[in-house]
Amino acid sequence: MNILLLTNEYPPNVYGGAGVHVGHLCRELARIEDAGVRLQVLCFGEPAKSRHPPEIIAVPGPSALFSDLRHAKFLDTLYRNVVMAGTAAQADLIHCHTWYTYLAGCLLKQIMSVPLVVTLHSLEPQRPWKKEQLGNAYFAAAWLEKTALHNADAVIAVSTAMRQDVLTLYDIEPGRLRVIYNGIDLQRYTRVERPDIVARYGIDPDRPYVLFVGRITRQKGILHLVRALPLLDKGVQAVLCAGAPDTAAIGAQMEELVRQARSHSENDIVWISKMIPEDDLAALYSHAAVFVCPSVYEPFGIINLEAMACGTPVVASAVGGIPEVVVHEQTGLLVPLEPAGGGDPEPRQPRQYAGDLAAAINKLLRDPARRAALGAAARERAERHFGWNRIAEHTLGFYREVVEKAGSA
């Protein structure tokens, strides 16, 4: 079977969960013995050099100037999609990841007369803040998403919650939808006792700390966590591995909120804005007392799996696919979040949400024995359900079902 996989992100050009997913999925598909799979990947950024399969081709962007810079990303995406459509080799199946490749996927489905599979890592109607980045091109991206879902032969949702969201938002036959979870590299993300790495980032390894890892975006709820920091018990450190703000405005808001938090708290707040290497990240997870995921929208939440695989308990919002990863009172604590409504996933009562986050964090900080038990259960759950080899095998099996069905139609 010849598989053509289209993606914006591919290692080392990864900035979100979709890029992590694609990198591991491709690696594991290439490792499956006797699968008879030839995998070609077309991506936006220049991939890392490798002597091993799959075949990876970087698609260049245009050099044109745009009258509205917010539209530049969208128009650049359309250009690369057209190049993808002209670059791709014949395949038996096309697999698209995120709206950045949906136009190419729809075009190639018609050109090659082969089935199209789409993996959804998020849904545009549930991310209204994207208009801040894309301007009115946000509505064009949402239109591309809707068009691709209606043209796809099969759709993969990364959680049961996302599957339900798809059925609610789009008129899609349930039989075309399959849930295949994201996964975790259990060798890379494992317990790492390296206090020297922790100290290198300005963190005292001998004092407990609360850890956040993620982009500065409304989706990740980082601003709500910063508001919660002055409510944490004394003697704890807060470590924010947070960079790449979506916009200059949210970056400035983050800076002001951190300034306020520091002025109202006796605890150290360590803000690391640069990208953390994966090897160092495993050590930061492992030494953390609690990992916090305050997302207001999260179809799955790979970041929670990373912490869990390192044996660290999680405090997370009970939204989207997170409750399918973090089991309340078994691998961490889930914090309810009531959305504002009208399509806005932000909390209806932000102050209460920040207080609830702080209360859950403090509850675990005060009970080291419970943290240890939750952390051990978290690692065991990651091993049992979320290894990438299992995810790749499920995906390959789904490919075969789709191709067989298309061949008999």
H or E element in which residue 70 lies: helix 69-87
Report how far residue 172's alpha carbon sits from residue 177's, in angstroms, rounded to the nearest whole number.
8
In DSSP terms, 40 is beta-bridged to 4, 55
Report how far residue 384's alpha carbon sits from residue 358's, in angstroms, rounded to the nearest whole number.
30
In DSSP terms, 112 is beta-bridged to none
Nearest to 10 by CA among 383, 1, 19: 19
CATH architecture of 2-183+387-404: 3-Layer(aba) Sandwich (3.40)
The answer to which of 126-130, 166-170, 207-211 has the lowest mean pLDDT is 126-130
Report how far residue 156's alpha carbon sits from residue 405's, in angstroms, rounded to the nearest whole number.
16
For residues 349-359, average pLDDT: 97
Indicate the domain borders of the chain: 2-183+387-404, 195-385
| pTM to 2 decimal places | 0.88
Amino acid identity, position 338: E
Confidence of residue 279 (pLDDT cuts 50, 70, 90): confident
> What CATH code would you report for 195-385?
3.40.50.2000
* Structure-block tokens of residue 236: 């704890």
Report how far residue 346's alpha carbon sits from residue 218's, in angstroms, rounded to the nearest whole number.
8
Q: List pLDDT tens digits, range 189-247.
A: 999 999 999 999 999 999 999 999 999 999 999 999 999 999 999 999 999 999 999 89
For residues 9-29, average pLDDT: 90
pLDDT in the model for residue 52: 67
Report how far residue 114's alpha carbon sits from residue 120's, in angstroms, rounded to the nearest whole number.
20
Q: List pLDDT tens digits, range 284-300.
A: 999 999 999 999 999 99
